[in-house]
Amino acid sequence: MLDELAKRESEVESVEQLFTKIRNNFGETSEEERKIEQLRTIEQGGRTCDEYMQEFKKVTRGSGYEGKPLIKEFKRGLNGSIRRKLAEAEEPLTTIGEWQEKAVRLDKNQRQSKMEEKMLERNVVCPGGNAQPRGRGLYGGREGQITWRMGEEYRGRRGGNTFNREGT
C-alpha cells in the first residue's frame, strides 16, 4: 500500500477511504487510533451545532487530542458559514470552550433567523405580534406589506408611509 501511495497509483478520495485502506492492509487499530479516526471525520452537516458538539466531546475522550489540534479538528467539522463567522470575530477565540460556546450560540441564532424568515414569507407579523396572511395590512385588511429586521421595530409600508410598532 505504501508503494502504491508513493507511486500515486492508489486512488483515495476521502479520509474515511484512507483509514479503511490502512485498516485492511495493516489490521485493526487501537481504541485511541479509532477515536482519532472518528475525530478527523465527523462533521456537523445538517445537525445542530449542539448535536455536533456532543458527538465531538464523546469522540474526544480517549483520543489524546487537546489544545490547538483539538480546536483545529472542531473547526474543521463545523459548517462553513459558522466557521467563517467565528474566524471573523473581533476577539479571537483561543480555547476549545470558547469555540464550542460561540459556535452553538451562532448556530442557534442562524437557525432562529431562518425560521423567522420562513414565517415571514408565509405570514406578516403586525405590530402587537399578531400574524396575518400575506397581503393583508394593518387596517381592516387593506393591502400592505410589513417587514421586520432583527433588533429593530416593526416597520412597514402603507401608501408609502413608514410606521413603528404602535402603528404610528
**pLDDT, tens only, 108-135:** 999 999 999 888 887 655 555 555 444 4
Considering the domain architecture, whether residues 160 and 98 belong to the same structural domain is answered as no
Q: Domain range holding 107?
A: 2-117
Average pLDDT over residues 123-148: 48
Query: Strand, coil or helix: what is 30?
Result: coil
Query: Is the pLDDT at 43 greater than 70, yes or no?
Result: yes
Question: Of 8-12, 30-34, 37-41, 149-153, which one has max mean pLDDT?
Answer: 37-41
Using one digit for the tens of pLDDT, what is the confidence trace for 49-102?
A: 999 999 999 999 888 889 999 999 999 999 999 999 999 988 889 999 999 999
Same domain flag for 93 and 164: no
Strand residues in the chain grouped as ranges (E): 123-125, 131-133, 145-147, 155-158, 161-162
On whether both 17 and 96 belong to a single domain, the answer is yes
Cα(89)–Cα(93) distance, rounded to whole angstroms? 8
Is residue 22 located within the same domain as residue 93?
A: yes
> CB within 8 A of 108, min separation 6: which ones?
48, 49, 50
8 A C-beta contact, residue 93 and residue 102? yes
Q: How many CB atoms lie within 10 A of CB 136?
A: 18
Do 55 and 131 reside in the same domain of the chain? Answer: no
Residues 6+ apart with CB under 8 A from 71: 93, 95, 96, 99
Domains: count for the chain: 2
Task: Specify the residue for cell string 466557521.
Answer: 83
| 143/78 same-domain check | no
The model carries a pTM of: 0.56
Under 8 Å between Cβ of 93 and 99: yes
Residues 106 and 133 grouped into a single domain = no
Binned at pLDDT 50, 70 and 90, residue 153 comes out as very low
Whether residue 29 sits in one domain with residue 91: yes
> How confident is the model over 12-40, as a mean pLDDT?
77
